[in-house]
Amino acid sequence: MNITGIAKSHQTGIPKASSRKEWKLSDSLREQIAGYVREDAAQGVYMGDKFLALRKSKVAKVAPDRAGIPGVSADKGE
């Protein structure tokens, strides 16, 4: 029995990681994050309020109903 042949036949429909579309930050978003990092670093803060608000707004665009997804806990305290 050829186990290798069976395994290969089941993997033909699986795309390789290199063939998937890469997700990248836009230049403007990257600059905005860098600005927040500089401000927070000057104040000795890690991930300050402005950055957390930006992150929360971007996550809300991608997954607007996070609280409604079974098995996913909503951010607590935010």
Residue 35 located in a structural domain: yes
Structural domain of 38: 24-60
Residue 43 located in a structural domain: yes
Residue 5 located in a structural domain: no
Residue 11 located in a structural domain: no
Closest CA to 54 of 76, 75, 73, 29: 29
Q: How many domains does the chain have?
A: 1
Distance from C-alpha of 3 to C-alpha of 54, rounded to nearest angstrom: 50
Summarised one tens digit per residue, pLDDT across range 28-55 is 999 999 999 999 999 999 999 999 999 9
Q: C-alpha dihedral over 15, 59, 53, 23, to 10 degrees? A: 20
Residue 66 located in a structural domain: no
Residue 75 located in a structural domain: no
Residue 37 located in a structural domain: yes
Convert 42-56 into a string of H (helix), E (strand) and C (coil): HHCCCCCHHHHHHHH
Mean pLDDT confidence for 13-39: 80
Predicted TM-score (pTM) of this structure: 0.52
